[in-house]
Amino acid sequence: MSDRPGFGADRVWQSGSPGLGAPAGTEWEMVVGLEVHAELLTATKLFSASPNAFGGQPNTHIDPVCLGLPGTLPVLNRRAVELAIRVGLALGAEVRPSIFARKNYYYPDMPKNYQISQYDRPINTGGSLELPSGKVVGIVRAHLEEDTGKSTHVGGAGRIDDAAWSLVDYNRAGVPLLEIVSHPDLRSAAEAREYVTELRATLLAVGASDGKMEEGSLRVDANVSVRPRGSAELGTRCEVKNVNSLRSLGRALEHEARRQIDLLSSGQRVAQETRHWNEDTGRTSLLRSKEEATDYRYFPEPDLVPLVPEPALIERIRADLPLLPRQRRHRLAAAAGQSPARVALLVERGQDDLALAAVEAGATPESVLKHLEQHLADGAGALTAAGLAGLIAMEQRGELSSNQSKAVLAEMVRSGGSPSEVAQRAGFEAVAAGELAGVLERIIAEHPAEWQRLCTGDERERKKMQGFFTGQVMRATKGQANGRDVAALLEDRAGTSADSAPG
Amino acid sequence: MAERISRDEVAHVAWLARLQLSAAELERFTPQLGDVLDHAADVAALNLDDVAATSHPYPVTNVLRDDVVGPVLDRDEVLAQAPSSEDGQFRVPPVRGESP
């Protein structure tokens, strides 16, 4: 492989060498489906009453059920069910009668030797997530399951494969998880990051999860395959695990897609397997081949009865849902006459209510969006919608220059107040039109040659001299003149001069 | 009639359950498991189109508890009963690979 183009937003991969599998110059696309595990914001675990809390000394949030002690029985957490339904409804899923299942495997972070999960009858099926770009990603399911404990590998330089022994902390064992599985609808690393960002925002909006990837309360596994662009068939996929941040997700997908393209381009095949992302080396490595895939022997969990959410409960939860990020984008977009993608940043920052109120107060939408986007990245502080609308009105009446306007906005963010008060306190008195004309006459008198060039010069010359006179007026008024007023005045005065010039 | 389950399959199932079976035990259990599967096949042969699948025998649904924190176990007492512990954690043999 010689051809390794950079990682652009809309990249096209090409095979650099003719391979047996794909002709040279084949354009590839990646196909990605994500499994997102979100820890639910409950007070207690999914099946027992020990606390669901991050941190704490190891093995201090433990009880007989989450330790899998003999004779204990799980009892389902009502709040976890409600949060799962909230997420399901937010994703437009169908909330259905469901059962729990045992997923059997031996690993020390699961003391029962099985994980209680949902398998063939999950609580939420179907649904979709609309991204800020407008792309709609299909959701397969969102099901409840318990989290595992946390093992630390000791000795053997900390690497899993040659650890001398492992230490296990069961604080996390039994914490409620919602596993949200997408269709393989994502086509780039950027799109995958956008999906996780939007899903996280949705989880936060409905209060289901705190979405902290750095604390592991939001975890992502990626199913990745590649195919020649335009092909309708799916390639053989690999599952990539251990992706712990949005940045890792992007890097891991780029790397894994590249690896698969290199294999296919050189006439080899992609083997279906589970791969481990290593953040330090920037590579994925084989964790389990298909032949080694765990045989989980799912069967219905006999200790838990079916979960059949009452329609009344579902409707109560539906009525209680807040506006979702998608709805907020569409709401502001409609009010501002813009696309949802254009207003996504303000929704992400939580400044859409402010923008909406300013627009409703009569401010020009484009000005509102521009001010918020460009000047309020660090938050709107004490700024009110009325204040912002007032500021924009003052600008449009020519009462503030653009520098003054910026200063007034900054002050309103700091300590509130109305724009006229703030402008007055700062000594920003707009230069009255009559006064401005006087200033200009004086400057013309001082620079007759330049004025002549402005009135009679060619296009380029006129532009240059307009700049000169604008600068002079600004200096004379200490920057308090409004640029647009000066331009209009210059044009007006130059026209008069030309008219009155001797024929 | 071919056996419903092979000796190799029984060995695999035993391994999944971390059971160590001797050659003699494999010989004995293979036909026994085959008998169990024969019985399942008898049930599967019935026309049950009108019968909903049963996951649980009891007509009970929605057994839920409120999300209220209860008592936790005393760590030292628990770890004292573990085969091995270190730094407040369970110490276990090394495991190859990571959790599925």
**Residue A142's pLDDT band (cuts 50, 70, 90):** very high
Mutate to test the interface with A, among B33, B58, B62, B86 (most CBs of A within 10 A): B62
Average pLDDT, chain A: 89
Instruction: State how far the Cα of A70 lies from the Cα of B45, in Å rounded to an integer.
Output: 37
Question: What is the distance in angstroms between the Cα of A6 and the nearest Cα belonging to chain B?
Answer: 32
Chain B residues within 8 Å of chain A (Cβ atoms): 12, 16, 18, 55-56, 58, 60-73, 75, 78-79, 86-100
The span from the CA of A385 to the CA of A361, in Å, is 7
Of chain A residues 241-260, which have a CB less than 8 A from chain B? 241-242
Pseudo-torsion of CA A53, A88, A214, A352, nearest 10°? -110
Residue of A nearest to B94 (CA): A165
Tell whether the model's pLDDT for residue A118 goes beyond 80.
Answer: yes
Residue A419 CA to residue B10 CA, distance in Å, equals 81
| Cα–Cα nearest to A99, from B50, B65, B57, B69 | B57
- pLDDT at position A217 is 94
Q: Do A305 and B98 touch (CB under 8 A)?
A: no
Fill in the amino acid letter for A394. M
Encode pLDDT of A270-290 as tens digits: 999 999 999 899 999 998 877
Compute φ and ψ for A150, nearest 5 degrees. -120, 125
Q: Is the pLDDT of residue A192 over 90?
A: yes
Which pLDDT value is given to residue A30?
Answer: 96
Start-to-end C-alpha separation, chain B:
38
Check: pTM over 0.95? Answer yes or no.
no
Those residues whose C-beta lies under 8 Å from the C-beta of residue A368, and which sit 6 or more positions away, are: A336, A355, A358, A359, A388, A389, A392
A44 to B70: CB separation less than 8 angstroms, yes or no: yes
A window 366-405, beta carbon within 8 A of B: none
Contacts B92 to A, Cβ<8 Å: 108, 151, 165-168
Q: Which of A271, A150, A290, A291 is nearest to A217 (CA)?
A: A150
Whether A65 and A73 have beta carbons less than 8 Å apart is answered as: yes
Q: What percent of chain A has pLDDT over 90?
A: 67
The answer to whether the Cβ–Cβ distance between B87 and A51 falls below 8 Å is no
Q: Does the pLDDT of residue A373 top 60, yes or no?
A: yes
pLDDT tens digits along A450-469: 999 988 888 888 889 988 99
* Interface ipTM: 0.89
Burial grade of A418 (CB within 10 A; 0-12, 13-18, 19 or more): middle
- Provide φ and ψ at A250, rounded to 5°: -60, -45
The more confident residue out of A24 and B87 is B87
Cα→Cα distances A275→A106, A284, A293, B98, Å? 19, 6, 12, 11
pLDDT given at position B3? 73
Q: How far is the C-alpha of A233 from the C-alpha of A226, rounded, in Å?
A: 10
List the 426-485 stretch of A: residues with Cβ below 8 A of B.
none
| Chain segment B14-29, per-residue pLDDT in tens | 988 889 999 999 999 9
